[in-house]
């Protein structure tokens, strides 16, 4: 449990809590004794004064016990909540610092679960440990001591019942445990069928496969029910077995105690107290074993969190932070995604992007266009060859300094909750309102933003679910423009715009951002025709480079793409 | 926090926590409850067995303190024989109790699982037959949660609540009757303290609630931030926003901590306060009982010392189930609210079987006619307004138009995913509504922009349109679309298992599988709704020949925005504002210099501008 260090700063609360627990446990243990006294001295001997006196003492103890119990829970929650809060912050910070390949490996879904569920699990776990575990332990020990102090022979009863109880519980739990994983699997299967049918309803209906889906679901459903029943049947054994042990020890106490009392060595109230202690002891054993279950669960969560915390960012920057970047050169660059050794994405790629140049990268899906962009921003590192910027290896650059000079508009527009203006301001936190408006205008977004009910203050809900694909792309572009970057990269990020809007956008960018290096990744020739140079990627390597007219004459690949988008050359002017 | 109870079933299930569970109130408790009981009633035998077993357990539980009391009396009176007898009876009772408890566990599990299984089954069978309108207008996550969370809640309630509610009610009434028989005055005292406990608990719960609600809200905010930043990490990183994200997150996280601690502090008082009140009651019984016992024996209210002890035991047994009922009440309410949502799905009208005109999907020629079709998804927002279209059998028709002009609606109407408001659509002269729905769809195949793949092998995904297809047929379909090439490169070829809707394939590959599926279906009418917009133009060109072959000899409706897909159509129709504004072939339309010409200029001829 390496996460223990997060509890350290709050050791004070973590220790105070069990300490005040002692008060509660003592009160709980004291009460049966007082009760027996009350019955022996007050009720049986019909002494009202003693009755009232003991009664008041009882109430006082209950009050004190309750108070220390409340304090205990306050301290426990102080410790566990602070612990969870620190842990959550650290894991989040670490998650934000992960490199792309690491986030991909964890998958975003899993990272989210770790940050939400697992943290909550850990918080509950720590709280339970502090409160329940220690409470049960104290209760167990205290109960045994009190019971033995009543009559040492009662120990014999405990000696029989305790090991038996532990053994039986272990047996039942051992039988049930492996089934839980199975239940989860079966449940996933049921949900999966459901999910597919909700999302693919059109396909199911179009091919009239309702019956088949129902059959598929029924099978998954029956499987789940069977497994659930198996678990329930096993668990159903636990409760009766435990109650037999508990009740038989009560009978044994009555018998042993009865003989003693009849011999005049014990009083009736004592037997009642012993029964009470017996119940508490066996109960606390049960609680402890339940705790072992939750320890197993806590451990799983802790492991998943440690995994995140122990992941060092795979990509670290240097400390070189120049004022301007300069030319970007790819020298014999090869690349495959981490973990996919067999699948080469880029190979032997040589390319230089000059400052201020307007260059396009064209190629089919899977040709390696986006990967090339990811290398420039150091989202990934090359696996062969190297990239230099202004003559310096890219690894020497400070990551923040490097990315501050670059603005990428990604293929998938990711927007965040907040207003339109806030989303654009992501590009540059210090941007003035004027700058934001200007960026929106260049991005051809101003028009639709102003039509929104609150203009720039309109709130974007659910990652822009209310916006069209083209609108989201234009907002992402505005976000990149407001950054006033040295290098602006469009990664196939105008695909949802119609050509006239795209044309206006390109003209505006050309006019407004003179001197900015522009890299455009695209599939449509129409989007890149006017670039200074077009680099044609084919199967991960540079197939041709040159202007539109040059490529039309020299590159067969380019010609083929061109034909596929126009059908026949004559149409261009038609 | 709630008192810890040795409820093995609940405590041992992993990953389930209740303390902060919010109680949800059902809207129409009575009607839902009635339906829910109907479901439980389907397992009538289990239900009544469970009830009988629970009744016996309660009786045993009521008997046990009486026996214990006799045993103590025997000890006091020094009657070893009687003590042994009583102890023997006790052991018997306990054994019986244990056996019954086991049966209770078995039957309540059977009842719960049986009920939930039927519910899930019915829910799914219903869901699959709901009209597309339902899935289109409801949040998918919300539909899913009915199947998962709501069903789970019901299962928990049925398995634990029913038994414990029954036994609690029986226990309370049993205890109450016995207590009244022993001493009405003490029974009154006991009842009063319990009333006080209940009052206090409602008061505290109400007071606490706002803290828990707040905690829940901030927790939602924390989770929301995590979700947003982690899934948008590419942008976060590209814009160097990590530090800001961490700052904001830390702030929310701190807030959560603070509220959670407040909630815990107030929540923590609950137990001790209850404990105190119940002890006050206990003390009152002891004092008043002591006083009554000291009265002269012929006094109306006189009781024996043994009675006081029995009373103490009974009053303990009396108060426990009352707390339990209060606890169960919340759980049951939540379950009923869940059941309400499930029944809401089940009560939604399903698609009918369609008409019963003779219609053979295999021999249909595929002549389509849309006459004066009007349609709106939402009232007062018309999409199609007087749409007319005649398609001859075997014709290739391309539909073009701006976004929102109603292109996809034509598909939705032809497949009867939605029904027209006015006008008529016919296939080979038969109105759509007269054709059996299943047979109608069997004669169509659609390929949509959003690919749909199931977690199954590639082969079975292709044969989705024809479950009895042979391997040869499947491979032939894959070859015809060019999917065969990439499938063979996969480790397990056609037996490769697709996970998460085919996330291990590229978008283009996914679409190829969907097209292969349509090829295999061999329909009379083919619909391609932006089918190739997600594959790049070169790949499209490579599958173009397959598409042409696919479209041969069948009526094809093509919705597309790429010129290459549209040019070869026999007829291009241009939709604008829900009406056909132009129709003809490519060259004719271009020469008209109308809407098509403008669309063409802005989209297809972009290279020239």
- DSSP-assigned letters across all residues of A270-325: HHHHHHHHHHHHHHHHHHHHHHHHHHHHHHHHHHHHHHHHT---S----SB--SS-
> Which is more confidently placed, B89 or A341?
B89
Spacing of C-alpha A279 from chain mean position:
41
Q: Does residue A377 surpass a pLDDT of 80? A: yes
Residue with tokens 């339309």: B589
**Lowest mean pLDDT, pick from A105-109, A414-418, B118-122:** A105-109
Give B175's pLDDT tier (boundaries 50, 70, 90): confident
- Mean pLDDT over A198-224 rounds to 85
Q: What is the pLDDT of residue A6?
A: 86
Q: What is the pLDDT of residue B501?
A: 59
Whether residue A272 lies inside any domain: the answer is: no
- Mean pLDDT over B195-213 rounds to 79
Q: What is the pLDDT of residue B206?
A: 80
With CA atoms as reference, report the closest residue to B108 among B9, B230, B179. Answer: B9
Handedness of CA A126, B215, B230, B244 (dihedral sign): negative
> Which is more confidently placed, B380 or B564?
B380
Give B537's pLDDT tier (boundaries 50, 70, 90): low
Query: What is the distance in angstroms between the Cα of A351 and the nearest Cα belonging to chain B?
Result: 22
Query: Does residue A323 share a domain with residue A308?
Result: no
Whether residue A216 lies inside any domain: the answer is: no
Contacts of A180 in chain B (CB under 8 A): 13-14
The string of pLDDT tens digits covering residues B22-38 is 456 667 778 888 888 88
Most confident of A501-510, B16-25, B519-528, B537-546: B519-528
Give B371's pLDDT tier (boundaries 50, 70, 90): very high
Give B606's pLDDT tier (boundaries 50, 70, 90): very low
Query: What is the distance in angstroms between the Cα of A327 and the nearest Cα belonging to chain B?
Result: 20
Q: Which helix (H) or strand (E) holds B192?
A: helix B184-231
Mutant choice from B67, B73, B75 vs A, greatest count of A C-beta within 10 A: B75
Contact call for A259 and B280, based on CB within 8 A: no
Residue with tokens 């038996």: A164
Query: Does residue A531 share a domain with residue A471?
Result: no
Most confident of A190-194, B367-371, B484-488: B367-371
The string of pLDDT tens digits covering residues A380-397 is 888 889 998 888 888 888
**Lowest mean pLDDT, pick from A4-18, A506-520, B307-321:** B307-321
Show the domains of chain B with their CATH numbers.
Answer: 25-181+322-351 (1.20.1560.10), 184-302 (1.20.1560.10), 353-443+565-609 (3.40.50.300)
- Mean pLDDT over A68-90 rounds to 89
User: Tokens at residue B294, please?
Assistant: 């000291």
Query: Does residue A147 share a domain with residue A118?
Result: yes
The string of pLDDT tens digits covering residues A433-448 is 889 998 998 888 888 8
HEC letters along B140-162: HHHHHHHHHHHHHHHHHHHHHHH
Q: Which residues contact B355 (CB under 8 A, 6 or more apart)?
A: B431, B433, B434, B435, B436
Mutant choice from B303, B454, B518 vs A, greatest count of A C-beta within 10 A: B454
Residue A524's region, left for phi above 0, alpha for psi from -120 to 50, else beta, is beta
Q: What is the pLDDT of residue A239?
A: 82
What mean pLDDT is reported for chain A?
83
Q: What is the pLDDT of residue B538?
A: 65
CA distance B414 to B433: 10
Q: What is the pLDDT of residue A223?
A: 93
Percentage of chain B modeled with pLDDT above 70: 89
Query: Does residue A140 share a domain with residue A10?
Result: yes
CA distance B538 to A364: 7
Query: Does residue A320 share a domain with residue A419?
Result: no
CATH of the domain at A134: 1.20.1560.10
Contacts of B110 in chain A (CB under 8 A): 229
Whether residue A195 lies inside any domain: the answer is: no
CA distance B189 to B204: 23
Tally of domains within chain A? 3
Q: Does residue B607 surpass a pLDDT of 80? A: no
Query: Does residue A86 share a domain with residue A41?
Result: yes
Q: What is the pLDDT of residue A72?
A: 87
CA distance A7 to A501: 56
Query: Does residue A140 share a domain with residue A108?
Result: yes
Contact call for A410 and B235, based on CB within 8 A: yes
Answer for the pair A207, B441: CB distance below 8 angstroms, yes or no.
Answer: yes
The string of pLDDT tens digits covering residues B39-52 is 888 888 888 888 88
Q: What is the pLDDT of residue B426?
A: 92
Give B502's pLDDT tier (boundaries 50, 70, 90): low
Give B445's pLDDT tier (boundaries 50, 70, 90): confident
Whether residue A507 lies inside any domain: the answer is: no
Contact call for B283 and A55, based on CB within 8 A: yes
Of the three residues A314, A343, A363, the one that is the final residue of a domain is A314
A236 touches chain B (CB under 8 A): yes
Q: What is the ipTM of this complex?
A: 0.78
**Sheet containing strand B382-391, strands side by side:** B382-391, B368-376, B422-427, B430-431
> Which domain does A131 fall in, by range?
1-151+299-314
Q: Across the interface, which of A39, A262, A571 has its CB nearest the CB of B80?
A: A262
Contacts of A36 in chain B (CB under 8 A): none
Q: Does residue B347 surpass a pLDDT of 70? A: yes
- Mean pLDDT over A241-248 rounds to 86
> Which is more confidently placed, A357 or B536?
A357
Query: Does residue A3 share a domain with residue A88?
Result: yes
Whether residue A499 lies inside any domain: the answer is: no
Whether residue A159 lies inside any domain: the answer is: no
Q: What is the pLDDT of residue B374?
A: 92
HEC letters along A352-379: EECCCCEEEEECCCCCCHHHHHHHHCCC
The string of pLDDT tens digits covering residues A119-178 is 888 888 888 888 877 888 888 888 888 888 888 888 888 888 888 888 888 888 888 878
Query: Does residue A96 share a domain with residue A20?
Result: yes
**Lowest mean pLDDT, pick from A474-488, B62-76, B116-130:** B62-76
Distance between start and end Cα atoms, chain A = 72
A9 touches chain B (CB under 8 A): no
Answer for the pair A168, A260: CB distance below 8 angstroms, yes or no.
Answer: no
Query: Does residue A127 share a domain with residue A49?
Result: yes
**Sheet containing strand A346-353, strands side by side:** A346-353, A328-335, A384-389, A392-393
Query: Does residue A310 share a domain with residue A325?
Result: no
Query: Does residue A433 share a domain with residue A401?
Result: no
> Which is more confidently placed, A238 or A479?
A479
Query: What is the distance in angstroms between the Cα of A74 and the nearest Cα belonging to chain B?
Result: 5
Percentage of chain A modeled with pLDDT above 70: 95
Q: What is the pLDDT of residue B332?
A: 79
Of the three residues A484, A503, A528, the one that is the final residue of a domain is A484
Whether residue A539 lies inside any domain: the answer is: yes
Distance between start and end Cα atoms, chain B = 72
Of the three residues A284, A314, A344, the one that is the final residue of a domain is A314
Q: Would the pTM count as exceeding 0.80?
A: no
B587 touches chain A (CB under 8 A): no
Give B536's pLDDT tier (boundaries 50, 70, 90): low
Contact call for A417 and B101, based on CB within 8 A: no
Q: What is the pLDDT of residue B6?
A: 34
- DSSP-assigned letters across all residues of A78-120: HHHHHHHHHHHHHHHHHHHH--HHHHHHH-HHHHHHIIIIIHH
Q: Does residue A48 surpass a pLDDT of 60? A: yes
- Mean pLDDT over A346-364 rounds to 87
**Lowest mean pLDDT, pick from A123-137, A183-197, B530-544:** B530-544
Whether residue A273 lies inside any domain: the answer is: no
With CA atoms as reference, report the closest residue to A373 among A478, A503, A475, A522. Answer: A522
Give B88's pLDDT tier (boundaries 50, 70, 90): very high
Q: How many angstroms separate the Cα of B285 from the Cα of each of A16, A36, B172, B270, B320?
A: 36, 15, 18, 23, 16
Q: Does residue B305 surpass a pLDDT of 60? A: yes
Q: What is the pLDDT of residue A242?
A: 84
Give B425's pLDDT tier (boundaries 50, 70, 90): very high
């Amino acid at each position: 449990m390496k996460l223990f260090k997060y509890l350290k700063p709050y050791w004070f609360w973590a220790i105070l809590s069990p300490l005040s627990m002692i008060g509660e446990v003592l009160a709980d243990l004291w009460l049966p004794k007082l009760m027996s006294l009350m019955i022996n001295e007050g009720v049986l001997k019909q002494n009202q004064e003693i009755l009232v006196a003991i009664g008041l003492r009882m109430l006082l103890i209950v009050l004190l016990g309750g108070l220390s119990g409340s304090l205990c829970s306050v301290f426990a929650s102080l410790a566990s909540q602070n612990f969870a809060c620190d842990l959550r912050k650290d894991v989040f910070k670490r998650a934000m610092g992960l490199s792309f390949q690491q986030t991909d490996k964890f998958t975003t879904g899993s990272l989210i679960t770790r940050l939400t569920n697992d943290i909550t699990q850990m918080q509950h776990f720590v709280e339970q440990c502090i409160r329940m575990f220690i409470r049960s332990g104290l209760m167990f020990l205290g109960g045994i001591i009190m019971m033995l102090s009543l009559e040492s022979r009662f120990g014999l009863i405990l000696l029989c019942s305790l090991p038996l109880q532990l053994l039986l519980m272990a047996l039942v739990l051992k039988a049930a445990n492996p089934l839980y994983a199975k239940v989860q699997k079966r449940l996933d299967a049921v949900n999966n069928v459901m999910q597919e049918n909700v999302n693919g309803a059109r396909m199911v209906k179009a091919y009239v496969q309702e019956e088949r889906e129902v059959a598929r679901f029924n099978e998954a459903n029956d499987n789940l029910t069977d497994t659930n029943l198996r678990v329930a049947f096993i668990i159903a054994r636990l409760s009766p077995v435990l109650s037999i042990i508990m009740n038989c020890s009560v009978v044994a106490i009555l018998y042993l105690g009865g003989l003693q009392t009849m011999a005049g060595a014990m009083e009736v109230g004592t037997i009642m107290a012993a029964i009470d202690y017996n119940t508490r002891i066996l109960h606390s054993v049960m609680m402890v074993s339940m705790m072992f279950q939750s320890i197993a669960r806590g451990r799983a969560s802790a492991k998943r969190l440690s995994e995140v915390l122990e992941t060092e960012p795979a990509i670290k920057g240097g400390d070189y932070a120049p004022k301007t970047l300069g030319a970007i050169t790819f020298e014999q660059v090869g690349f495959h995604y981490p973990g996919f050794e067999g699948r080469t994405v880029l190979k032997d790629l040589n390319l230089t992007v000059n400052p201020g140049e307007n260059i396009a990268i064209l190629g089919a899906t899977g040709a390696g266009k986006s990967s090339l962009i990811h290398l420039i921003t150091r989202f990934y590192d090359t696996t062969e060859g190297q990239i230099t910027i202004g003559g310096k290896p890219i690894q020497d650059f400070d990551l923040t300094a490097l990315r501050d000079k670059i603005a990428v508009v990604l293929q998938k527009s990711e927007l965040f909750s907040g207003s339109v203006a806030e989303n654009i301001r992501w590009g540059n936190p210090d941007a003035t309102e004027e700058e934001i408006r200007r960026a929106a205008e260049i991005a051809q977004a101003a028009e639709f933003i102003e039509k929104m009910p609150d203009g720039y203050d309109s709130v974007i809900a659910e990652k822009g679910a209310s916006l069209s694909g083209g609108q989201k792309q234009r907002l992402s572009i505005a976000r990149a423009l407001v950054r006033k970057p040295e290098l602006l990269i469009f990664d196939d990020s105008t695909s949802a715009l119609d050509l006239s809007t795209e044309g206006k956008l390109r003209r505006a960018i050309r006019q407004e951002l003179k001197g900015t290096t522009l890299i455009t990744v695209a599939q449509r020739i129409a989007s890149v025709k006017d670039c200074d140079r077009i680099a044609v990627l084919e199967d991960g390597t540079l197939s041709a480079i040159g202007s539109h007219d040059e490529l039309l004459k020299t590159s067969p690949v380019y010609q083929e793409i061109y034909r596929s988008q126009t059908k026949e050359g004559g149409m261009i002017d038609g | 926090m709630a008192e810890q109870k040795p409820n093995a079933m609940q405590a041992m299930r992993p990953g389930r926590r209740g303390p902060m569970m919010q109680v949800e109130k059902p809207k129409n408790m009575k009607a839902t409850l009635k339906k829910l009981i109907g479901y439980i009633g389907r397992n009538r035998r289990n239900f009544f067995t469970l009830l009988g077993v629970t009744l016996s357990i309660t009786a045993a539980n009521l008997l046990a303190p009486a026996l214990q009391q006799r045993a103590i009396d025997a000890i006091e009176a020094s009657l070893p024989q009687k003590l042994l007898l009583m102890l023997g009876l006790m052991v018997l009772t306990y054994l019986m109790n244990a056996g019954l408890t086991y049966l209770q566990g078995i039957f309540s599990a059977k009842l719960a699982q049986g009920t939930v299984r039927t519910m899930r089954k019915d829910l799914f069978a219903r869901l699959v037959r709901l009209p597309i309108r339902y899935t289109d207008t409801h949040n998918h996550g919300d539909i899913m949660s009915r199947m998962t969370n709501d069903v789970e809640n019901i299962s928990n309630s049925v398995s634990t609540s029913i038994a414990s509610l029954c036994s609690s009610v029986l226990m309370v009434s049993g205890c109450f009757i016995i207590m009244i028989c022993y001493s009405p005055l003490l029974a009154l005292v006991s009842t009063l303290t319990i009333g006080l406990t209940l009052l206090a608990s409602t008061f505290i719960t109400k007071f606490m609630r706002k803290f828990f609600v707040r905690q829940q809200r901030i927790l939602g905010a924390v989770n929301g931030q995590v979700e947003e930043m982690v899934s948008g990490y590419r942008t976060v990183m590209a814009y160097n926003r990590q530090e800001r994200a961490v700052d904001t997150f830390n702030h929310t996280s701190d807030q959560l901590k603070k509220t959670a601690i407040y909630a815990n502090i107030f929540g923590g008082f609950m137990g001790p306060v209850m404990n105190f009140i119940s002890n006050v009651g206990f003390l009152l019984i002891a004092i008043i009982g002591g006083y009554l016992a000291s009265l002269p024996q012929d006094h109306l209210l006189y009781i024996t010392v043994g009675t006081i002890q029995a009373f103490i035991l009974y009053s303990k047994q009396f108060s426990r189930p009352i707390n339990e009922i209060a606890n169960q009440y919340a759980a049951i309410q939540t379950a009923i609210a869940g059941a309400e949502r499930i029944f809401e799905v089940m009560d939604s009208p399903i698609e009918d079987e369609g008409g019963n005109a003779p219609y053979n999907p295999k021999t249909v020629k595929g002549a389509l006619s849309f006459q004066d079709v009007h349609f709106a998804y939402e009232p007062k927002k018309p999409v199609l307004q007087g749409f007319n279209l005649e398609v001859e059998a075997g014709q290739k028709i391309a539909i073009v138009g701006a976004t929102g002009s109603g292109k996809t609606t034509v598909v939705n109407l032809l497949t009867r995913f939605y029904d027209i408001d006015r006008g008529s659509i016919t296939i080979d002269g038969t109105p759509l509504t007269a054709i059996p729905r299943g047979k109608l769809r069997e004669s169509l195949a659609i390929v949509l922009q959003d690919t749909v793949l199931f977690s199954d092998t590639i082969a079975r995904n292709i044969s989705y349109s024809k479950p009895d297809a042979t391997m040869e047929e499947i491979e032939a379909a894959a070859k015809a679309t060019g999917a065969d090439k990439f499938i063979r490169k996969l480790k397990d070829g056609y037996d490769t298992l697709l996970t998460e809707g085919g996330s291990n394939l590229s978008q283009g590959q996914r679409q190829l599988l969907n097209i292969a599926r349509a090829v295999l279906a061999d329909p009379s009418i083919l619909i391609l709704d932006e089918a190739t917009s997600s594959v790049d133009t070169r790949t499209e060109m490579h599958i173009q020949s397959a598409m042409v072959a696919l479209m041969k000899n069948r009526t094809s409706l093509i919705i597309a925005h790429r010129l290459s897909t549209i040019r070869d159509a026999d007829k291009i129709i241009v939709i604008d504002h829900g009406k056909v504004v132009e129709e003809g072939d490519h060259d004719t339309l271009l020469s008209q210099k109308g809407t098509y010409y403008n669309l063409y200029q802005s989209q297809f001829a972009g290279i020239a501008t």
